[in-house]
Amino acid sequence: MRLTILGTGTARPVGDTPQSGVLVEAGETKVLFDIGSGVASQVEARMNAADLAGLLVGHFHADHWIDIGPLRYRFPWAEPAPRPLPVFLPPGGREKLNHLAAAINERPGFFEPAFAITEYETDMRIEIGGFVIVPHAVGHYVPAWSMDITGPDGERVVYAGDMGPSEMVVDLARGAELLILEATLENGAFDDARRGHLDTGEAIDHVRRAGVPQGLLVHYHSERRAAIAAQCAASGVPVQPAVTGMEVEVERGRVRIAGRPAGYETVRTG
């Protein structure tokens, strides 16, 4: 499978990257994970967003799903879409979409003609094209799910999403090719008592313990990119901060960073 990182930002808007979004492809099947602010445009820059085979949202914080509003306008306004987009939301998702429709002055049920909505639950097996995707609940400030994504050849990516330290995710990622983690905090010691995010050291440690061939860090403050890259390089663990536009090829037992956009500095260490 092939991944394109569409955003690495946190909830705070910045000029150099959208918020959360990862496009995952195998053959003709393209599936989007999370659609934070700025991500709908990133999708549209690469493809006709109406050709997505599926959209999965890991939790209902704005930086992971607010662009589902703009995405809706890619489909016919009133009549049913020729091919409704399968949208997989956490429990309560239909009601949340109706609240969002009201908030943007659209009619109740505004999202229904465009989207085929499923409210998923932990351990549900979701099949899209050659992909099998299983959500797993993680600890965050609100209910949140990590996504275990298996491609057509058995290659596997764990997209963890927002979460505090998680033994479950370390266990889940064992045997996977790629683990994508957040690295939101400068120092996890200042997080809430009930943890909801990781700092860079914690994220690196999750990658090390999972033993995956490659880890990528997302959901970080852009001004910390160089410091995060240096910390990754010094760790000896195969992990680095992702950047928006980065392309990653994942095969059984092998991960290749296939493309990296220009303009991101190389970090020297040692």
Q: Does 199 bind Zn ion (CB under 5 A)?
A: no
Q: Which of 30, 61, 72, 136 binds Zn ion (CB under 5 A)?
A: 61
Q: Which of 128, 148, 126, 146 is nearest to 137 (CA)?
A: 146
Specify the DSSP class assigned to residue 168.
Answer: H
User: Among the candidate windows 24-32, 56-64, 201-209, 234-242, which touches Zn ion by CB under 5 A?
Assistant: 56-64
Residue in 252, 255, 263 with CA at minimum distance from that of residue 239: 255
* Smallest separation, CB 167 to Zn ion (Å): 20
Site string for Zn ion, 100-139 (x = CB under 5 A): ----------------------------------------
- Per CB under 5 A, 72 contacts Zn ion: no
Which region, judged by CB under 5 A, interacts with Zn ion, from 123-131, 160-168, 208-216, 242-250? Answer: 160-168
Crossing angle for the helix pair 200-210 and 225-235, to the nearest 10 degrees: 40
At its nearest, how many Å lie between Zn ion and the CB of residue 11? 6
Of 162 and 177, CB closest to Zn ion: 162
Three-state secondary-structure class, residue 64: helix
Residue 63 engages Zn ion in binding (rule: CB under 5 A):
yes
Amino acid, single-letter form, for residue 26: A
Measured CA to CA, the distance from residue 1 to residue 220 in angstroms comes to 25
**11 vs 27: CA distance, rounded Å:** 32
Distances (CA, A) of 226 to 33, 120, 237, 267: 26, 37, 16, 6
Nearer to Zn ion, 43 or 160 (CB): 160
Select from 34, 67, 155, 162 the one that contacts Zn ion (CB under 5 A): 162
End-to-end CA distance of the chain: 34
Quick one: 25 or 162, whose CB is closer to Zn ion?
A: 162
Q: Which is nearer to Zn ion, 63 or 202 (CB)?
A: 63
Q: What is the DSSP letter of 131?
A: E
Site for Zn ion, residues 223 to 252, rule: CB under 5 A? none
Positions in the binding site for Zn ion (CB under 5 A): 61, 63, 162
